């Protein structure tokens, strides 16, 4: 992996992400989101359909190339409970939005 690529730290605790909640990148960018959390949860980047588990003391990297433009939610599934994705969509909590802008 390119050591010069920007890594976006996305720390969240108490179910809130630090910052303004929007991550802006350009189409074609290599994006690396580094997640740290105080609670075990499933992360889901909608649109790109990337899912990853995070938990306390377990830093997770979500790396991808921003090919598709638009606004995509990164949500958390399963805060404090367990359920199947798709069955209880209302249980999703949106953490941040990823905005991919055209070049």
**Interface positions with Cu ion (CB under 5 A):** 44, 75
Strands (E), the chain: 7-13, 16-17, 22-26, 30-37, 41-45, 50-54, 60-65, 70-77, 93-101
Give min distance, CB of 88 to Cu ion, in A. Answer: 11
Which residue number places its CB atom closest to Cu ion?
A: 44
Between 4 and 60, name the residue whose CB sits nearer to Cu ion. 60
Give min distance, CB of 85 to Cu ion, in A. Answer: 6
Residue carrying the six token digits 């990164």? 74
Give min distance, CB of 73 to Cu ion, in A. Answer: 7
């Amino acid at each position: 992996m390119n050591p010069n690529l920007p890594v976006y730290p996305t720390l969240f605790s108490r179910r809130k992400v630090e910052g303004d909640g929007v991550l802006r990148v350009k189409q074609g960018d290599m994006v690396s989101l580094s997640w740290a959390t105080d609670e075990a949860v499933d992360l889901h980047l909608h649109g790109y359909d990337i899912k990853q588990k995070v938990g306390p003391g377990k830093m997770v990297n979500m790396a991808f190339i921003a090919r598709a433009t638009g606004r995509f939610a990164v949500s958390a599934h399963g805060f404090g409970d367990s359920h199947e994705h798709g069955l209880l969509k209302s249980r999703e909590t949106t953490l941040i939005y990823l905005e991919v802008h055209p070049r």
